[in-house]
Amino acid sequence: MSYPEGAAHIRTTALIVASALFMEQLDATVLATALPTMAEHFGVSAMHMSVALTSYMLSLAVFIPASGKIADRFGTRPVFCSAILVFTVGSALCGQAHSLSFLVGARLLQGLGGAMMVPVGRLLLLRTIPKEEMVAAMSWFLVPALLGPVVGPPLGGLIVTHLSWQWIFYINLPIGIAGMALVLRFIDDVTELRHEPFDWLGLGISGVSLSCLIFGLEIVSRGALPLPDAIGILVVGFGAGGLYLWHAKHHPAPIIDVQLMRVPTFRLSVLGGALTRITGGAMPFLLPLMMQLGFGLSAEQSGFVTFASAAGSMLMKASATRVLRRFGYRRTLVWNGAAACFFIALISAFRPSWPLPAIYVLLLLGGFFQSLQFTAYNTIAYADIPREKMSAATAFYSTMQQMMLSLGICVAAMSLNGSVALFGRGQPELQDFSLAFLVVTAISLMASPVNSLLPEDAGDDLAGRRGQAVHSGMR
């Protein structure tokens, strides 16, 4: 197979595709900082604003499974460009929201665009880049994506403090327009058209399952319906999930190919990554609320504190390839994961009396280790996937990713609400946030035993370790 125009083209493609991920990540982190202000505008509790995050992720989880199939049928570049357009229109409608229910509807439309935008963009890279260049290319791909979380918190604070919350959505408009122009100008359509039967029934069953599971967990976390009703929704979700597993075994091209879980590196990345991403989903929800409700900071001050975590993620990208080459995937995922959990758990001890430089340093280190963990998961997942299965693997992995991020928000909200109710408080205090951080960290700790099941040489081709003495660094 030939790769167009060499390393320069790969770098250009990665950076342009990453602009879509930048827009999505910027939107999420800016929104998280603005949640308390938006709650006041809509006249609801700040804790109930988690629905603004989970509604978007619900839409992602429902439509991501179709992304690879749609790209295979209609072309990767046109689908990617159309997805950016839908996301941009959804952003404009979010800015026009006059109620929480209107905002949720607009976020669902945004999620439809995001469901096609990021997985199809990643598919473009996977089909363009040689395997031995994957870690380096993913680092280029993630640089603009990580700028979103770095820029998002302080930008969100500045917008909410000096303008209005609506502008946190309007800033997506010029980015989306520029992204579409760059895609049409510079991105090659490397589509591998396939005309397999589209699994409409599977899409419907999986959509019912995923939406009921996410919606049910969101309802439980907020106490929006009586518990029996919420449990009923979850039972429907699990039942539809079981029905889908039966359906997938009998369809020639299921919308979510569960047979991919037979690939050991893919399976372990999905399982270990699922546990880790629960904490990843909880962080953007808990940290801004803790800074504003627990510390009493303004949205602007909160944004300038919480950006340190994303800054640590940026610093990591320069060393990801060297770390993975030096230690390999298994040791990196096991020990780096434990280090990331340690620094996230320390957030539970944060108090207003702490010096700000100490908080900055701990958030920076936590962001560094957590980002290295996600980089390792995102690359080892595709180490042993055949080329013809890349679109299916991307859709499957992205679906699980969004499910776990949504679950992280729900677990964080349930822990927070549960602690508030247990101690009879009217609104969350620092002790409640501490408990929530410890709960999500404990879940992520369970990923280390899963990661230890990876073979010692897993991903050596990706990390450039093939042919090296794997144990040279252990003497």
Nearest to 234 by CA among 218, 256, 223: 218
So what's the pLDDT on residue 473? 34
Residues sharing a CB contact under 8 Å with residue 374, sequence separation 6 or more, in sequence order: 273, 276, 277, 280
What is the domain range of residue 235? Answer: 199-252
pLDDT band at 301 (very low <50, low <70, confident <90, very high): confident
- 154 and 76, same structural domain? yes
- By the 8 A CB rule, do 104 and 48 touch? no
- 342 and 224, same structural domain? no
- 227 and 337, same structural domain? no
Residues sharing a CB contact under 8 Å with residue 164, sequence separation 6 or more, in sequence order: none
- By the 8 A CB rule, do 299 and 33 touch? yes
- 258 and 247, same structural domain? no
- The answer as to whether 472 is a domain residue is no
Q: State the average pLDDT over residues 87-114.
A: 88
Give one DSSP letter per residue of 419-436, joined into a string: HHHHTT-SS--HHHHHHH
- 207 and 63, same structural domain? no
So what's the pLDDT on residue 115? 81
- 19 and 134, same structural domain? yes
> What pLDDT digit, counting tens, does each position of 194-220 carry?
566 778 888 888 888 888 887 787 777
So what's the pLDDT on residue 246? 92
159: left (phi over 0), alpha (psi -120 to 50) or beta: alpha
> What pLDDT digit, counting tens, does each position of 121-177 carry?
767 666 666 655 665 566 566 666 566 666 766 777 778 778 888 888 888 888 888
466: left (phi over 0), alpha (psi -120 to 50) or beta: beta
- The answer as to whether 1 is a domain residue is no
For 95, the token pair is 């800015």
- The answer as to whether 207 is a domain residue is yes
For 102, the token pair is 């209107």
Q: Which of 252, 275, 296 is the last residue of a domain?
A: 252
**Residue percentage of the chain with pLDDT more than 90:** 4
So what's the pLDDT on residue 86? 92
Q: Which of 217, 232, 252 is the last residue of a domain?
A: 252
- By the 8 A CB rule, do 377 and 340 touch? no
Residues sharing a CB contact under 8 Å with residue 62, sequence separation 6 or more, in sequence order: 111, 115, 206, 207, 210, 211
- The answer as to whether 469 is a domain residue is no
Q: Is the pLDDT of residue 88 over 70?
A: yes
- The answer as to whether 135 is a domain residue is yes
Q: Is the pLDDT of residue 467 over 60?
A: no
Ranked by mean pLDDT, which of 99-113, 172-186, 213-227, 281-295 comes out on top?
Answer: 99-113
So what's the pLDDT on residue 475? 31
117/139 Cα distance (integer angstroms): 19
Task: Name the residue with higher pLDDT: 85 or 317.
Answer: 85
Residues sharing a CB contact under 8 Å with residue 355, sequence separation 6 or more, in sequence order: none
> What pLDDT digit, counting tens, does each position of 345-385 carry?
998 888 888 888 888 888 888 888 888 888 888 888 887 88
Backbone CA torsion sign across 360, 327, 345, 282 = positive
Chain centre to alpha carbon of residue 303:
20
C-beta neighbour count of 286 within 10 angstroms: 26
Task: Name the residue with higher pLDDT: 187 or 38.
Answer: 38
Residues sharing a CB contact under 8 Å with residue 32, sequence separation 6 or more, in sequence order: 53, 152, 153, 156, 284, 285, 287, 288
**Residue percentage of the chain with pLDDT more than 70:** 81
Residues sharing a CB contact under 8 Å with residue 277, sequence separation 6 or more, in sequence order: 374, 401, 404, 405, 408
Name the average pLDDT for the chain.
78
Q: Is the pLDDT of residue 106 over 80?
A: yes
Chain centre to alpha carbon of residue 276:
11
Give one DSSP letter per residue of 216-240, joined into a string: HHHHHHHT-S-HHHHHHHHHHHHHH
Q: Is the pLDDT of residue 292 over 70?
A: yes
Q: Which residues of 392-412 are buried (b: 16+ CB within 10 A; e: fewer)?
A: bbbbbbbbbbbbbbbbbbbbb
- 219 and 89, same structural domain? no
- 91 and 133, same structural domain? yes
- 156 and 237, same structural domain? no
- 336 and 392, same structural domain? yes
pLDDT band at 231 (very low <50, low <70, confident <90, very high): confident
464: left (phi over 0), alpha (psi -120 to 50) or beta: left
- The answer as to whether 94 is a domain residue is yes
Give the CATH number for residue 86. Answer: 1.20.1250.20
- Report the interhelical angle of 337-346 vs 264-289 (nearest 10°): 10
- By the 8 A CB rule, do 277 and 25 touch? no
23/26 Cα distance (integer angstroms): 5
So what's the pLDDT on residue 219? 75
- 336 and 294, same structural domain? yes
pLDDT band at 239 (very low <50, low <70, confident <90, very high): very high
Residues sharing a CB contact under 8 Å with residue 108, sequence separation 6 or more, in sequence order: 55, 56, 58, 59
Residues sharing a CB contact under 8 Å with residue 313, sequence separation 6 or more, in sequence order: 146, 149, 150, 367, 368, 370, 371
For 436, the token pair is 């929530």
Nearest to 110 by CA among 175, 150, 184, 57: 57
So what's the pLDDT on residue 474? 30
So what's the pLDDT on residue 216? 80
Q: Is the pLDDT of residue 448 over 80?
A: yes
> What pLDDT digit, counting tens, does each position of 6-16 carry?
555 666 666 67
232/224 Cα distance (integer angstroms): 14
The H-assigned helical ranges of 317-352 are 320-331, 337-346
- The answer as to whether 331 is a domain residue is yes
Number of domains within the chain? 2
- 221 and 110, same structural domain? no
- The answer as to whether 352 is a domain residue is yes
**Dihedral angle of Cα 265, 187, 84, 274, to the nearest 10 degrees:** 10
So what's the pLDDT on residue 129? 62
For 285, the token pair is 């929800």
pTM: 0.72
